[in-house]
């Protein structure tokens, strides 16, 4: 069996819960498709894709069908984004990334950073990473409902920054998750760690507190980052 066939077989167990055929926002500067991995061990209250949380749910789209779709988009798309759920949950992800790159696509990953060693191993296969930093370390367990989650996310951040792979850190916030003072402290923590690109996203989940930052506060939050964006609505 040749190496391509072996890679295909090893990627076959990947559970894909859905596909976005075209996006201009999930992989900066590229036209891309998004593949949503099934399963996530964290239980954030504001999760946008709760249908993807259960890791035992079978694939909606089998991997060979995903490949056939991507082959039909060669020359039309620049890249492929692996999102979720949490894509690094699945052991078949490295093989899937290698297969996608062999088709000529650039690759991106959206992750919460819950498996830092796995992320470190994946970085050579990636062109861009969107890493969720859900809050200051002391707030993580309450946000994710998972003990020890913050240490893993910040370990992933260190691996990402050391790799040189292009990235964006993203934080979803409302005042009910943690205070504005904690948000400013988080900005300092990220800047001190060497983060240059940070996106602050308004939490729009039911019951979320009303956006509580003034224009001046937003300006102060972004002052230490060369790339800073606020996403609302």
Question: What's the pTM value of the predicted model, to 2 decimals?
Answer: 0.94
Angle separating helix axes 63-72 and 93-102, nearest 10 degrees:
20
3 state SS of 20: strand
Provide the residue-wise pLDDT of the chain in tens; the chain has 233 residues.
444 444 555 889 999 999 999 999 999 999 999 999 999 999 998 888 888 888 889 899 999 999 999 999 999 999 999 999 999 999 999 999 999 999 999 999 999 999 999 999 999 999 999 999 999 999 999 999 999 999 999 999 999 999 999 999 999 999 999 999 999 999 999 999 999 999 999 998 888 899 989 999 999 999 999 999 999 97
Query: Rounded CA gap, 98 and 228, in Å?
Result: 31
Half-sphere exposure of 107 (CA within 13 A, CB side): 20
């Amino acid at each position: 069996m040749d190496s391509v066939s072996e890679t295909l077989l090893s990627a076959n167990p990947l559970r894909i819960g859905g596909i976005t055929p075209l996006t201009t926002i999930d992989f900066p500067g590229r036209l891309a498709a998004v593949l949503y991995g099934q399963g996530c061990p964290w239980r954030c209250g504001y999760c946008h894709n709760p249908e993807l949380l259960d890791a035992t749910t079978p694939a909606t789209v089998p991997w060979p069908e995903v490949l056939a779709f991507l082959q039909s988009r060669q020359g039309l798309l620049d890249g492929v984004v692996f999102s979720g759920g949490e894509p690094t949950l699945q052991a078949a992800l490295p093989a899937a990334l290698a297969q996608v790159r062999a088709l000529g696509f650039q690759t991106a990953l959206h992750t919460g950073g819950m498996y830092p060693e796995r992320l470190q191993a994946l970085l050579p296969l990636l062109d861009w990473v969107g890493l969720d930093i859900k809050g200051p370390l002391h707030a993580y367990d309450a946000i994710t409902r998972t003990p020890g989650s913050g240490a893993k996310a910040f370990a992933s951040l260190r691996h990402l920054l050391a790799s040189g792979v292009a990235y964006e850190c993203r934080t979803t916030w409302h005042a009910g998750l943690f205070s504005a003072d904690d948000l400013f402290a988080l900005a300092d923590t990220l800047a001190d760690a060497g983060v240059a690109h940070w996106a602050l996203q308004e939490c729009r989940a039911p019951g979320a507190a009303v956006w509580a930052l003034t224009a001046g506060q937003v300006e102060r939050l972004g002052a230490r980052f060369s790339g800073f964006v606020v996403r609302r609505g």
